[in-house]
Amino acid sequence: MDIKLTEKATKWFEDKFPLNEGEAVRFFGKTYGKTEVHDGFSLGVQVDNPENHDNILSSTEVNGRKYFTTREDEWFFNGYDLEVDIDEELNEPKYHFEGHDEDNNE
């Protein structure tokens, strides 16, 4: 599973989620809502410390900031890469789940 953020999404998170040292942005699956590939579940976002987790599923670093998800949410991300962009009209993140071949999943 890969996590990718557009430049606009990176800027939005930098503006809206100030981080202290050791903190990062965590993506996770939660009940209620809907995504383009999940019915009854949506994507949650929170500030978290990745050092508190020994089960990182995927992470990426952009402009010195870490974005990650844990194996606890593998059920939500299984078979997909996460692409984060910004909805220009709503001025909030929009999430795209790109399917991938699980045999090539790291």
Distance separating alpha carbons of residues 106 and 25, to the nearest angstrom: 20
Give per-residue pLDDT as tens, 59-80.
999 999 999 999 999 988 999 9
Q: What is the residue type of 54?
A: D
Residue 56 has pLDDT above 70, yes or no: yes
Give pLDDT, residue 106: 46
pTM: 0.88
The stretch 18-42 carries a mean pLDDT of: 87
> Is 50 strand, coil or helix?
helix
Structural domains in the chain plus CATH codes: 3-101 (2.60.300.12)
- Amino acid 101: pLDDT: 64
Residue 103, pLDDT > 60, answer no
Q: What percent of the chain stands above pLDDT 90?
A: 75
Per-residue pLDDT band for 1 (boundaries 50, 70, 90) equals very high
Question: How far apart (Å, rounded) are the C-alpha atoms in residues 90 and 73?
Answer: 26
Confidence category of residue 105, pLDDT binned at 50, 70, 90 = very low
